[in-house]
Amino acid sequence: EIKACLFDLDGVIVDTAKYHYIAWKELADGLGFLFTEQDNERLKGVSRTASLNILLEIGGLTIAEEEKAKLAEQKNNRYVEYIAKMDSSEILPGALDFLKECRTNGIKVALGSASKNAMTILNNTGLTPYFDAIIDGTHTSAAKPDPEVFLLGAKALDAAPEHCVVFEDAEAGIEAATRAGMFSIGIGSPETLSAANIVVPSLAHMSVSMLKESFA
């Protein structure tokens, strides 16, 4: 039985994955190395600090901790500029309808995001009221693939992990869901998300009846 759906934010509910990518790419450009869209897959779902470490590894750079903090801040400042202009037009296809459908069917809804900017995005897009619980990067101490964010979400909704479904566009997020003992739906391409229980191109391809069928 499905009692709760837990959603990643970036790349699942809203189209912010592109802003993260652009902001990281600008940073890499400034540091003088190439950062591709394929490289960016490794950053999806990963915390800001961990992302920077991966980025620097790709660029082959070793940088002191204080300098790293400045670079992370520089990236975030650019990212915040992008999300400040967001509105409901940047909600991904099918996302709002599916959130509503969950509620209509008595399924609780939680956010499980690594982002410390989640509240800004939810408020700017008008999505905050659709969540029964919100767990973001300000509540967690361990980043995906650690299951913490989803376990906190399940706890907030009073649902056992075996009754929870996670929606994720990142490999690290699917791994986190699996480690939390939850059913996982990959949003994106089956190649990158092969570890998910099922994969759909977007939430426009998802419905509660379809979810119940695949969960059973």
- State the residues that interact with ligand G6P by CB under 6 A: 10, 20, 43-48, 51, 76, 113-117, 137, 170
Contact indicator for 101, 208 with CB cutoff of 8 Å:
yes
Token pair for residue 94? 């099918």
Q: Rounded to the nearest whole angstrom, what is the least distance from the CB of residue 84 to Mg ion in the complex?
A: 20
- Contact region for Mg ion (CB under 5 A) — 9-17, 57-65, 94-102, 203-211? 9-17
What phi, psi does 211 have (nearest 5°)? -65, -45
Is 170 a binding residue for Mg ion by CB under 5 A? The answer is yes
Measured from the CB atom, the residue of 103 and 116 that comes closer to ligand G6P is 116
**What is the distance between the alpha carbons of residues 94 and 110, in angstroms, rounded to a whole number?**
17
Looking at the Cβ atoms of 46 and 151, the one nearer to Mg ion is 46
Residue 94 binds to Mg ion (criterion: CB under 5 A): no
> Taking Cα atoms as reference points, which of 115, 114, 122 lies closest to residue 96?
122
Among 7, 8, 130, 150, binds Mg ion (CB under 5 A): 8
Over its C-alpha atoms, the chain yields an Rg (Å, rounded) of: 17
Which residue in 2, 5, 6, 11 binds Mg ion (CB under 5 A)?
A: 11
Order across the sheet with 198-200: list the strands.
Answer: 133-135, 108-112, 4-7, 164-168, 183-187, 198-200
Q: Has 10 been annotated as catalytic?
A: yes
Residues of this chain that bind Mg ion (CB under 5 A): 8, 10-11, 45, 169-170
Annotated catalytic residues are 8, 10
